[in-house]
Chains A and B, each alone.
Chain A
Amino acid sequence: MVYLQLVVSGLLLGGVYALISVGLTLIFGVLRVVNFAHGEFLMVGMYAAYWLFQLWHVPTYLSAFAALPAFAVFGAVIYRLVIRRTMGQGDVVQIFATVGLGLILQNAALVLWTGDFRTIRSSYADAIWRIGGIQISVPLLVAFVVAVAVTGILFVFLNRTLEGKAMRAVVQDPIAALAMAINLDRVYLWTFTIGTCCVGVAGILLAPSYPIFPAIGISFGLVSFVVVVLGGMGSMVGAFLGGLIIGLVEVFSGFFVATDLKQAFYFLVFVLVLVLRPQGLFGQRGAEMVGFGRLT
């Protein structure tokens, strides 16, 4: 019974991690830019849910829809102001432009909203389902279902729609895509905006389950890098499965070794994967180095 509970908890946590990571893997897959500010985007989403609830009593799951246009604008502006200027530049520019962005967002939140831990006090925040002795946290279950839905929608979008096909074309060969009259800049803008919306929604859905404070993006951001590298950069399905694996690793190592050390385990998994199988479990060999790959 304990094992079953651990598996359920691990999968639920993994769903959360998958939800956070989908946007990151999409952005990396298409733009080949590692967004070091990803965790801070998540933090902004969590604060959005908090303030919508605190000021106007907007239920959290409704604010996921309400805040979507705001995230879209935010993502588009960040792309225009920062990300576009880093495309095709050297490592220093690519890494430190988003590192600086993360520094600004995290500390702006600290200045505006202090370092206090905030929680959303609502009836569903600690709702729990009990099925035959197994406890299932309702907010985490919702996050899990949304993670499955978002992964599925993105998968269909990439494979069935013209815009999605344009994205995949850009990933496979940007020059050939350009020759087919695909507007690269627009595809990059769309991708970055969609990725930002994904992580914003993730932040809102996590807001009821986790304390909200300016530095929370650091740990969640790092987890999403772990998940994305494990799943293979640019692979939606990989990000989902990678999330589940990391969720299980965290729950089991927390139970059998020590709660305080559980994060150390997935960081070690991370370094091992980077060194031994840098393309990840579901990525293509060499895709992490060269600009070509496949979006799956």
Chain B
Amino acid sequence: MRSIRSWLPRAVLIVLLSLLPLSTSNNYYMDIIVQIFMWGAAASAWNIVGGYAGQLSLGHAAFFGIGAYTSSLLFIAFGLSPWIGMLAGGGLSALFALLVGYLSVRLRGPFFALATIALAEVLQILAIYWRDLTGGGAGLLLPFKPGLVNFMFESKHTYAYVGLGFLLAVLVVTLAIERSRLGYYLVAIREEEDAARALGVRVLRMKLVAIVISAFFTSLVGSFYAQYILWLEPPYAFSLELSTQFALMAIIGGLGTWVGPLLGAVLIIPLAIFLRAWLGAAASGLYLVFYGMILVIVVLFMRQGIVVETRQAFRRWMTGHRQLVSG
């Protein structure tokens, strides 16, 4: 009974997500669905290290950018299938993540965040500087040659299902971590690092595992983004703005909960797309003003994110209701 109660909502969620792309044939709505899956996957990947392990990275755009550029450059230069290229990018990101992970041993809280910002900035500067390789600030255009091997599709439906596959992969890994020993270690490190170390948790190794997994998936989402948008530029792909958005979705939805980042994406992404369509270029930046406001309000007044806070409010309401009925 207990297991059905815990698994049923998850199964329902997965079925609903899978049905979502079938609900519309309109390209505009389909774009929203693809973006929810894509950014939901990125935010969920950030959540593994930011939410569960409590290492608040503001440099995850570095992994995103490495993934996007690696698969794209390999495709353009050697015609290598982006499906393989994205794994190469994931490998590179994992290596870079080791460096970031070692930093997190010496640095805590805001200082770790600052160091990750600096590292992502260095990559951005290098990506602009090596213009022969990356196209520099002018950007990189991917030639559109649709086909399964080329990871390019005529229909947004196909992108939606590939994106859903990425999202589900991250969610399954998150759930697996949550239930494993690793998950408990990570939460222990987040809550009280020194105490965790004193109790024999191998803090460095656990942090490294978490950040490597997180970086790998963030990198895959970067490759997906490149294949979907077919256009890359360093000022976006490695930007602080992007890193902030990954964290923002996870925090708004609920840090350290498996479904929180996805919920954050569901709440946040349509807002940006609607505002852009509604107000046009005049509103460029307006959605980020709203993002900032929501972030500040959630952080100050709904500290545990929308998932946990709503669940608690619901429980309070339920108990109040029951007392009312029994009384």
Contact = CB atoms under 8 A, between A and B. Distances in A.
A11 B300 CA distance: 41
A91 B295 contact: no
B146 interface: no
Interface in B277-311: 283-286, 288-289, 291-296, 299-300, 303
> Chain B binding site: helix, strand, loop or mixed by DSSP?
helix
A103 B291 contact: yes
Interface in B145-198: none
B121 interface: yes
Contacts, number: 135
Nearest to B296: A100
A30 to B, nearest CB: 15
B106 A264 contact: no
Interface in A80-119: 82, 85-86, 89, 91-97, 99-104, 106-108, 110-111, 115
A132 B144 CA distance: 59
Interface residues of B, number: 43
Nearest to B303: A93
Interface stretch (A1-9, A13-21, A156-164, A271-279): A271-279
B303 A101 contact: no
A271 B118 contact: yes
A100 B293 contact: yes
B296 A104 contact: yes
Interface residues of A, number: 45
A267 B122 contact: yes
B111 interface: yes
Given A94-B110, A96-B247, A271 B296 contact: no
Contacts of A261: 125-126, 129
Q: Which 5 pairs from chain A and chain B are nearest by CB?
A: A103-B292, A110-B285, A100-B295, A104-B292, A100-B296
Interface of B: 54, 56, 58, 103, 106-111, 113-115, 117-119, 121-122, 125-126, 128-129, 240, 244, 247-248, 251, 255, 283-286, 288-289, 291-296, 299-300, 303
14 contacts: A34-B111, A85-B300, A91-B54, A94-B110, A96-B247, A96-B248, A99-B244, A103-B289, A111-B285, A218-B240, A229-B114, A258-B129, A261-B125, A278-B106
Given A92-B303, A110-B284, 9 more contacts: A97-B300, A102-B292, A214-B285, A263-B121, A264-B126, A271-B115, A274-B107, A274-B111, A274-B114
Interface of A: 34, 36, 82, 85-86, 89, 91-97, 99-104, 106-108, 110-111, 115, 214, 218, 222, 225-226, 229, 258, 260-261, 263-264, 267-268, 270-271, 274-275, 278, 288-289
